[in-house]
Amino acid sequence: MIGWLQGLGRYTLELLARLGREGLFLLRLLQAQVFLFSRPGLVLPQIHFLGVRSLPIIAVSGFFVGMVLGLQGYVNLVKFGAESSLGALVALSLVRELGPVVAALLYAGRAGSALTAEIGLMKTTEQLAGMEMMAVDPFKRVLAPRFMAGCIAMPLLAGIFTAVGILGGYFVAVEQLGTDSGAFWSQMQAAVEFREDVVNGVVIKSIVFSIVANWIALFEGYDTEPTAEGVGRATTRTVVNTSLAVLALDFVLTALLFGAK
């Protein structure tokens, strides 16, 4: 019993210490953003790496998710003769939930894991310590530009995911199954409110998810144990923790933004 309590206490203390480190890390990361005004050139290559290079996976996944939505929606709605509402169904699902959430999960797997591995390896090979010994702050030179770039790239990726997803839904519903194209678009236009659905959905959610995903990815890399296994574990933790955080936060955000008023 005592041993069990000791274990619980130790685990709690470790968890609290870790949360404290993560909090301080985010604080230093945000402070270092000021430095980027004098060196905007550091951000661009990172946007290319984190954003542009993630485009293929985001676009292809978006298209397939949209196609599945179109197909499932058609199969179920056609029973009630309501297949003209397909446009609204596809667009609302993507704009409110699937766009930001699936894009964030894909981002964690594609870009977040790469960020963690890169920072973790830089730490393992003493590149970060070497930078500090050359009087260059790694928070400003390495971490801040990546954070900024990730927070710019991810909401854009979520937007692209949503747009391509709607095209995927259109492709299945209209091109393949023969739903009326005019009904598809006009129902969508009538159902989707800009402030209510687009801003509260894809915009706010993806901004929150991008901060969390990049924060976790950079922290795990920076906090990694400087060994090969350490970097491997940190990369796994990034994907797992980001996925859990995004899904849990999604529920909280949905309750706050779309909950019963």
Which residues of the chain form contacts with another protein (CB under 8 A)? 125-127, 129-130, 132-137, 141
Cβ proximity to another protein, 126 vs 193, nearer residue: 126
Cβ proximity to another protein, 28 vs 233, nearer residue: 28
Cβ proximity to another protein, 14 vs 193, nearer residue: 14
How many whole angstroms separate alpha carbon 107 and alpha carbon 17? 27
Cβ proximity to another protein, 24 vs 129, nearer residue: 129
In the bound complex, what is the minimum distance in angstroms from residue 167's beta carbon to another protein? Answer: 36
Cβ proximity to another protein, 142 vs 166, nearer residue: 142
SS3 178: coil
In the bound complex, what is the minimum distance in angstroms from residue 135's beta carbon to another protein? Answer: 4
In the bound complex, what is the minimum distance in angstroms from residue 143's beta carbon to another protein? Answer: 15
Cα–Cα–Cα angle for 254, 257, 258, nearest 5°? 70
In the bound complex, what is the minimum distance in angstroms from residue 230's beta carbon to another protein? Answer: 15
Cβ proximity to another protein, 41 vs 259, nearer residue: 41
Cβ proximity to another protein, 22 vs 132, nearer residue: 132
Residue linked to tokens 């270092």: 32
Task: Categorise residue 260: left if φ over 0, alpha if ψ from -120 to 50, beta otherwise.
Answer: beta
In the bound complex, what is the minimum distance in angstroms from residue 113's beta carbon to another protein? Answer: 18
187 within 8 A of 85, measured Cβ to Cβ: yes
How many whole angstroms separate alpha carbon 81 and alpha carbon 87? 14
Q: What's the token pair of residue 229?
A: 């296994």
In the bound complex, what is the minimum distance in angstroms from residue 177's beta carbon to another protein? Answer: 49
Residue linked to tokens 């529920």: 251
Give the total residue count for the chain: 261
Cβ-based burial of 113 (10 A; exposed 0-12, middle 13-18, buried ≥19): buried
In the bound complex, what is the minimum distance in angstroms from residue 106's beta carbon to another protein? Answer: 25
Please list, in sequence order, all residues whose beta carbon lies within 8 angstroms of the beta carbon of residue 32, skipping any fewer than 6 positions away.
137, 139, 140, 143, 144
Q: What are phi and psi of 136, to 5 degrees?
A: -115, 125
